[in-house]
Chains A and B, each alone.
Chain A
């Protein structure tokens, strides 16, 4: 969600170094990239994670506001600690992972970019698709550009840069046709989502 913001920051940071757009790949073989989701419920809140993250973001350092990209989360990678809840979550009545295998966010616009060295923050507007329903949302994203840090992550096997994006936002499950108006006494309407992902741009 905060990819746009990250892009803007990265772009600004990179301006002095290189002018060509950089494409950051968010498929992480280490499985560190993750999305945390939380829904309030009477006995205990339902906390889960998803680590099937992929997608790319391309940033032109000279024009960060024109960044483009899409982040994809595999629906089947959503995990909760209780096996019955897991079954329900991915089943027909909730996210229907078989019919809707991906949750996506596609960047449309970046605004209110604030930059502080290699860190930055921006409002990212994009199309968020969940359970087969697409809606335009705007989220706040914090971005950290880590030039030359890809080598540290790959044990020196690859040279390049990293872009870390963090974002927290809420959605209503009814907006995405997830049991609209049902079971509100058992599971909250609001879903808290927290995204922490790092993309790599290897040097060619």
Chain B
């Protein structure tokens, strides 16, 4: 059980880092709309249209890694309790 949870914590951490990296490695906040700059050909006004997609930011990375760390900490606690129980 403890081993399984540790592997799960590791996989979750790797998954979070991979998702953050593969989806743009954005060092800002997570976004659900990405601005795309366009120019009107007649007036030459530059304007923005939003591309609706999710780009994870450092908040996503931090939350995911904290969750993984919490899971790992839980395994340490369980391990301690198990040792106490057997002794």
Residues of A within 8 A of B (CB): 30-34, 36, 43-44, 47, 49, 51, 79, 81-83, 85, 144, 146, 149, 152-153, 162, 164, 166, 196-198
Q: Is the interface of B mostly helix, strand, loop or mixed?
A: loop
Whether A82 pairs with B32 at a CB distance below 8 angstroms is yes
CA distance A79 to B51 in the complex (A): 12
For window 11-64 of B, CB contacts with A under 8 Å fall at: 27-35, 40, 42-48, 50, 57-58
Residues of B within 8 A of A (CB): 27-35, 40, 42-48, 50, 57-58
Q: Do A82 and B31 contact each other (CB < 8 Å), given the known contacts A30-B40, A32-B40, A43-B58?
A: yes
Whether A49 pairs with B43 at a CB distance below 8 angstroms is no
CA distance A7 to B67 in the complex (A): 58
Residues of the B chain whose Cβ atoms lie less than 8 Å from the Cβ of A197 = 45
What's the least CB distance linking A160 to chain B, in Å?
12
Residue of A nearest to B28 (CB): A44
Whether B35 pairs with A34 at a CB distance below 8 angstroms is no
Q: How many A-B residue pairs have CB under 8 A?
A: 60
Whether B32 pairs with A153 at a CB distance below 8 angstroms is no
Q: Do A34 and B45 contact each other (CB < 8 Å), given the known contacts A44-B28, A81-B33?
A: yes
Residues of the B chain whose Cβ atoms lie less than 8 Å from the Cβ of A36 = 48
Whether A196 pairs with B47 at a CB distance below 8 angstroms is yes
Residue of B nearest to A43 (CB): B28
Residue of A nearest to B32 (CB): A83
CA distance A30 to B27 in the complex (A): 33
| Residue from B27, B44, B48 in contact with A164 in the complex, judged by beta carbons closer than 8 Å | B44
Whether A81 pairs with B34 at a CB distance below 8 angstroms is yes
Residues of the A chain whose Cβ atoms lie less than 8 Å from the Cβ of B57 = 82
27 A-B pairs with C-beta separation under 8 A: A30-B40, A31-B47, A32-B43, A32-B45, A32-B47, A34-B48, A36-B48, A43-B29, A43-B58, A44-B27, A47-B35, A49-B35, A79-B50, A81-B34, A82-B30, A82-B31, A82-B32, A82-B57, A85-B29, A144-B43, A152-B42, A153-B43, A196-B46, A196-B47, A197-B45, A198-B40, A198-B45
Whether A198 pairs with B43 at a CB distance below 8 angstroms is yes
Max chain A CB contacts within 10 Å: which of B30, B32, B45, B57?
B45
CA distance A197 to B31 in the complex (A): 27
What's the least CB distance linking A84 to chain B, in Å?
8
Residue of A nearest to B50 (CB): A79
Whether A146 pairs with B43 at a CB distance below 8 angstroms is yes
Whether A153 pairs with B42 at a CB distance below 8 angstroms is yes
Q: Do A81 and B31 contact each other (CB < 8 Å), given the known contacts A146-B42, A152-B42?
A: yes
CA distance A162 to B48 in the complex (A): 21
